[in-house]
Amino acid sequence: MYRFIFLLILVLFLNACGSPEETENVKNAEITVSAAASMQNVLQELKKNFEEKHPTIDISFNFGASGALSQQISQGAPVDLFLSASLEKFNELRDNGLIHEKFQQNLIGNEIVLITPQNNKHIKSVEDLKKAKRISIGIPESVPAGAYAKEAIDNMGLWNTIENQLVLSKDVRQVLTYVETGNVDAGFVYKTDTQMSNQIQVITSVDSKYHSPIIYPIGVIKSSKHVKEATLFYEYLLSEEAITLFEEYGFTRIQ
């Protein structure tokens, strides 16, 4: 009788432990997503929604300027999925064979807006930037929002006039902070960035005729060790559910 009970306990113990292979199968897969800083808020909500549907997949984000993220990927950083605010930076990776051929697509759009601190009374248009002492934009070489802003300002014929007043920032979130704290008189950010602050005022949207189309492409990194899981998140971000949420955060649907 005691022998039977001992054997029963032993069998139950071994079944509970399982084999190493079985244990490995239930471990979560963690995928790293490098994404433009302007997508931070919406992606955190989308991550939560996705992980509820796929509890064995963990999403880890690396947010920053698209130029810096692109450079990290080109240097071999362990990234599974890239969401860029710049077609140019994305296409550089694609042309170098770093983006998976089957899993790459334009995802969503955005707008550039001119913002000022809440107490501003002097700047009412882009032309009024001539009156500003300090104006912040992202570093054009690495921050797509800065590149779009520079292109628009130049096409409006104002670049040479205000160039010496510019305070260059590492990403659009830093521009937003500079404007919120009054460290600059005005700044150019994405429309989506303005939704997270009640300390700024939006002066105007920049007419899209003055700059290149603002498009966010998405792609699975070819060297990813978790292509299956990265593709699931990629497909979810392209779904109607996700696109609708992007729109709620101020992004624009690509027709």
Q: What residues form the annotated binding site for molybdate?
A: 38, 66, 145, 172, 190
pLDDT score recorded for residue 1: 52
**Residue 9 — pLDDT band, cuts 50, 70, 90?**
low
Asked if 22 contacts 39 with a C-beta cutoff of 8 angstroms, the reply is no
What are the start and end residues of each CATH 3.40.190.10 domain in the chain?
Answer: 6-109+215-248, 112-210
| C-alpha span between 140 and 155 (Å, rounded) | 15
As a whole number of angstroms, the distance between CA 33 and CA 163 comes to 34
Tokens of 60: 């880890």
Of the candidate CATH numbers 3.30.70.20, 2.60.120.10, 3.40.190.10, 3.40.50.300, the domain formed by 6-109+215-248 belongs to 3.40.190.10
Q: Check: CB of residue 197 under 8 Å from CB of residue 180.
A: yes
* Residues annotated within a binding site: 38, 66, 145, 172, 190
Tell me the mean pLDDT in the region 200-214: 95
What residue type is 163 in one-letter code?
Answer: E
Strand partners, 167: 136
Distance between CA atoms of residues 60 and 226, nearest Å: 13
Condensed to tens digits (0 to 9), the pLDDT of residues 52-66 reads 999 999 999 999 989
* pLDDT digit string, tens, across residues 144-192: 999 999 999 999 999 999 999 999 999 889 999 999 999 999 999 999 9
Distance CA 53, CA 59 (A): 12
Residue 248: C-alpha distances to residues 34, 106, 129, 196, 218 (Å)? 22, 18, 30, 13, 19
pLDDT at 12 over 90: no
In angstroms, rounded to a whole number, what is the distance separating the alpha carbons of residues 247 and 244? 5
Span 15-51, pLDDT tens digits: 555 444 433 444 589 999 999 989 999 999 999 999 9
Pairwise pLDDT comparison (244 vs 26), residue with the higher score:
244
CA 32 to chain CA centroid, Å, is 12
The hierarchical CATH code for the domain 112-210 is 3.40.190.10
Report DSSP letters for 51-112, one per residue: HHH-TTEEEEEEEE-HHHHHHHHHTT---SEEE-S-HHHHHHHHHTT-EEEEEEEEEEE--E
Please give the pLDDT value at position 255. Answer: 72
**Alpha carbon of residue 16 to chain centroid:** 42
**First-last CA distance in the chain:** 74
**What pTM was computed for the model?**
0.81
